[in-house]
């Protein structure tokens, strides 16, 4: 019974996890698909008089969701690379520690982020070859935009090897401690990523005219994504469509796994119910047969005038389960005669012989002939 309970618990937990994963992937699929649809129907504007005129024609002087394409222009100060002469408006610095960790008997590379910072200075999107401050589109809250972190240009990437890497063969107290701990310091990866000035950029979000200055920021509708990317609009749509297709596939796989587990659990339950029902009918038939046999024996005893000595029941005929009742049924196919009807019926499913632990297909009363 415990084994069956563990199986059903495993099926239930696995099915619930598969359903949760399918739901998450489906939500991601819907989000990416909706974002691709929204971007596909979005007009691309340049920071030019035409965009300003379009904003002035609107009732509240803004476009709820539009795309602006141009080049990056700093508004005042710039960020300088610590490892070169590059300048930009967004800078991300990361320090990642790489260690050798013992897992399942193998040394594997493990990563742990020590530092991850992002600096942003005010900047705008301007038309290539044009630098009229009136037609700049100032970018607001760029740190909340998606895609930007993944598309920053790598300006520095260096591995600084730990001293322990060159002393890993030496016998020292720290190395002995690391050996028993299962972890060795290996190296540090120092990276720097920037959005340089003059880079092509595409911004998708809410475009508004405020006090004569055009601005780009997050849309009012939280279901619409605020995007800053170095891809073109067509590439961006293809990117989200690819993500959408991948999430749809993963959602289908997770749903298929969950459905298979559910179907397996239902089939197993139905098979068990049918088998229990069949055995219940079998034991009812056995009890009727034994009752009829006892009535026949009682009738023969009453009709017999001769007195017979009572014969005691031997210990080999006692039920090995309850040690109280007389053995009444024979287990097949092992042919052991060691249980009463009540104990045989009470055995957990699948039923096993208490003597040889073999699976029991059926029981027969002891007086019947074996097949």
Ordered by start, the domain boundaries in the chain are: 1-41+232-298, 44-231, 314-371
| The token pair that represents 343 in the structure block | 């104990």
**pLDDT exceeds cutoff 70 at 165:** no
Q: Is the pLDDT of residue 279 over 70?
A: yes
Predicted pLDDT at 176: 53
Q: How many CB atoms lie within 10 A of CB 100?
A: 18
The answer to whether residue 306 scores a pLDDT higher than 60 is: no
Within a 13 Å sphere around the CA of 44, how many CA atoms are in the beta-carbon half? 14
Arithmetic mean of pLDDT over the chain? 84
Q: What pLDDT, on the 0 to 100 scale, is given for residue 202?
A: 95
C-alpha span between 140 and 128 (Å, rounded): 20
Give me the pLDDT at residue 298, please.
78
**354 phi and psi angles, rounded to 5 deg:** -70, -10
Using an 8 Å Cβ cutoff, are 100 and 186 in contact?
Answer: yes
Interior CA angle at 121 toward 119 and 122, to 5°?
Answer: 150
Residue 266 has pLDDT above 80, yes or no: yes
pLDDT for the residue numbered 4: 63
Tell me the mean pLDDT in the region 138-142.
Answer: 94
CB atoms within 10 A of CB 109: 10
**Which distant-in-sequence residues (6+ apart) come within 8 Å of 318 by Cβ?**
324, 325, 326, 327
pLDDT at 166: 44
pLDDT value for 204: 95
d(Cα 334, Cα 364) in Å, to the nearest integer?
A: 12
pLDDT tens profile 200-222: 999 999 999 998 899 999 999 98
- Tell me the average pLDDT across 131-146: 89
Q: How far apart are CA 154 and CA 192, in angstroms?
A: 6
Q: Is the dihedral of CA 239, 240, 243, 249 positive or negative?
A: negative
DSSP 338: E
Q: What pLDDT, on a 0 to 100 scale, did the predictor assign at position 364?
A: 87
DSSP-derived 3-state class of residue 268: helix
Question: What is the model's pLDDT at position 254?
Answer: 93
Q: 187: Cβ–Cβ under 8 A, 6 or more apart, which residues?
A: 97, 98, 159, 160, 161, 162, 165
Half-sphere exposure of 215 (CA within 13 A, CB side): 14
Is the pLDDT at 336 greater than 60? The verdict is yes
Pairing, β 227-229 against β 200-210:
antiparallel
Q: Looking at residue 181, what is its pLDDT?
A: 55
Q: Is residue 45 very low, low, confident or very high in pLDDT (cuts 50, 70, 90)?
A: very high
Q: Please check whether residue 84 is in contact with residue 156, taking contact to mean a CB–CB distance below 8 angstroms.
A: yes
Per cent of the chain over pLDDT 70 is: 85
Q: Cα torsion at 65, 70, 73, 78 (round to 10°)?
A: 80
What average pLDDT does the segment 80-89 reach?
Answer: 89
pLDDT at residue 227 in the model: 95
> Residues 205, 65: contact at Cβ < 8 Å?
yes
Three-state secondary structure of 90-122: EEEEEEEEEEEEEECCEEEEEEEEEEEEEEECC
**CA 93, 127, 206, 195: dihedral to nearest 10 degrees?**
-10
* pLDDT for residue 179: 55
Looking at residue 369, its pLDDT comes to 43
* 67: confidence class by pLDDT, cuts 50, 70, 90: very high
What pLDDT does 37 receive?
Answer: 93
User: Kind of pairing, strands 213-217 and 123-126?
Assistant: unpaired
Q: Which is nearest to 153 in space by CA: 101, 200, 217?
A: 200
Fold that domain 314-371 belongs to in CATH: Herpes Virus-1 (3.30.40)
Q: Is the pLDDT of residue 282 over 90?
A: no
Q: Give the H or E element holding residue 348.
A: none
Confidence of residue 187 (pLDDT cuts 50, 70, 90): confident
Average of pLDDT values for 275-281?
84
pLDDT tens-place string over residues 218-247: 999 988 999 999 999 999 999 999 999 999
């Amino acid at each position: 019974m415990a084994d069956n309970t563990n199986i059903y618990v495993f099926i239930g937990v696995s099915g619930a996890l598969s359903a949760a994963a399918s739901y998450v992937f489906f939500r991601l699929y819907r989000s990416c698909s909706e974002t691709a649809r929204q971007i596909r129907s979005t007009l691309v504007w340049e920071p030019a008089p035409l965009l300003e005129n379009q904003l002035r024609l609107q009732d509240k002087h803004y476009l709820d969701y539009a795309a602006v394409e141009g080049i990056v222009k700093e508004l005042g100060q710039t960020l300088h690379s610590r490892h070169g002469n590059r300048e930009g408006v967004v800078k991300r610095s990361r320090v990642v520690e790489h260690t050798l960790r013992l897992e399942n008997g193998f040394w594997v590379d493990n990563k742990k982020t020590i530092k991850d910072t992002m600096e942003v200075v005010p900047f705008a999107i301007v038309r290539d070859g044009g630098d009229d401050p009136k037609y700049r589109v100032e970018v607001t809250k760029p740190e909340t935009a998606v895609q930007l972190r993944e598309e920053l240009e790598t300006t520095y990437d260096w591995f600084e090897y730990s001293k322990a890497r060159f002393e890993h063969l030496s016998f020292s107290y720290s190395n002995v401690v690391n050996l028993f701990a299962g972890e060795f310091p290996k190296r540090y990866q120092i990276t720097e990523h920037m959005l340089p000035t003059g880079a092509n950029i595409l911004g998708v979000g809410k475009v508004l005219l405020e006090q004569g200055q055009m601005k780009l920021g997050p849309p009012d509708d939280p279901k619409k994504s605020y995007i800053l990317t170095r891809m073109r609009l067509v590439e961006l749509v293809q990117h989200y469509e690819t993500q959408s297709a991948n999430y749809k596939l993963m959602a289908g796989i997770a749903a298929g796994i969950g459905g298979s587990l559910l179907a397996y659990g239902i089939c197993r339950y139905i098979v068990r119910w049918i088998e229990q029902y069949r055995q219940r009918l079998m034991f009812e038939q056995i009890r009727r047969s034994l009752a009829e046999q006892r009535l026949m024996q009682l009738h023969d005893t009453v009709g017999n005038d001769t007195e017979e000595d009572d014969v005691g029941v031997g210990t080999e005929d006692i039920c090995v389960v309850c040690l109280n009742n007389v053995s009444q049924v024979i287990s097949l196919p092992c042919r052991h005669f060691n249980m009463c009807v009540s104990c045989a019926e009470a055995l957990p499913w699948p039923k096993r012989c208490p003597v040889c632990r073999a699976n029991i297909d059926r029981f027969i009363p002891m007086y019947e002939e074996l097949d």
